[in-house]
């Protein structure tokens, strides 16, 4: 499950913001420092996450730490999915 989430996020970022060029990119690549995420692309990424994983990210979930890399975003998504599971 987690591996799939991670792969989905990584693939989305590579195809949307790296013209499909995955060379050098990993789950630990710093998305801000590497110029991939700014305020507009972050909004677009939130939309993708909400829709793809049927979650609802709150403003409190979104900060420089949680959106640092594919690994941190995956962790956030897994956490949201887990909570949703608990609620059910």
Partner 1 sequence: MRIDRLVTPWAARAPDRIAVDGTDEALTYGQLDTLANRFANALRASGVRPGDRVGVHVPRSARTVAAMLGASRAGAVYVPLDPSSPPPRMRLVASDCGIRHVVITPALLGNWLAAGVREPVEHFFLVGDGAAPAEAAPAAVHPWAEVKDASAAPLEPSGQSPDDLAYMLYTSGSTGVPKGVMISHRNALAFTEWAAETIALSDADRVASVAPFHFDLSVFDLWASLSRGSTVVIVDETTVVSGRRMVDRINAKGITVWYSVPSALVLMLDDGGLAERGAPSLRTVFFAGEVFPMRHLRRAMAALARARFYNLFGPTETNVCLAYALPSVPPAEATAIPIGTASCGDTAVILDPEGKPVPDGEVGELFVDGPTVMLGYWDAGRRTPAKRPYPTGDLVSRRPDGELMYHGRRDHLVKIHGYRVELGEVEAALLGHSGIQEAIAMAVDQQLIAVAVPADPGVSVLDVKRYCATRLPRYMVPSEVRLVEALPRTSSGKIDRVRTRTAVVAADWSLLRPAQRAEVRKEP
CA distance 86 to 82: 6
Q: Which residues within the stretch 16-35 sit at the binding site for partner 1 (CB under 8 A)? A: 17-19, 21, 23-26, 28-29, 32-35
Neighbouring C-beta atoms of residue 61, cutoff 10 Å = 16
Measured from the CB atom, the residue of 32 and 84 that comes closer to partner 1 is 32
47 token code pair: 């939309």
Q: Which residues within the stretch 34-53 sit at the binding site for partner 1 (CB under 8 A)? A: 34-36, 38-41
Residues that bind partner 1 (CB under 8 A): 17-19, 21, 23-26, 28-29, 32-36, 38-41
């Amino acid at each position: 499950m987690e591996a799939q989430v991670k792969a989905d996020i990584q693939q989305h970022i590579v195809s949307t913001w790296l013209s499909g060029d995955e060379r050098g990119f990993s789950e630990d690549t710093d998305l801000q420092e590497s110029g991939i995420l700014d305020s507009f692309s972050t909004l677009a990424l939130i939309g993708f996450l909400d829709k793809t994983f049927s979650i609802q990210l709150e403003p409190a979930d979104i900060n420089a730490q949680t959106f640092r890399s594919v690994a941190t975003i995956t962790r956030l998504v897994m956490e949201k999915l887990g909570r949703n599971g608990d609620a059910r």
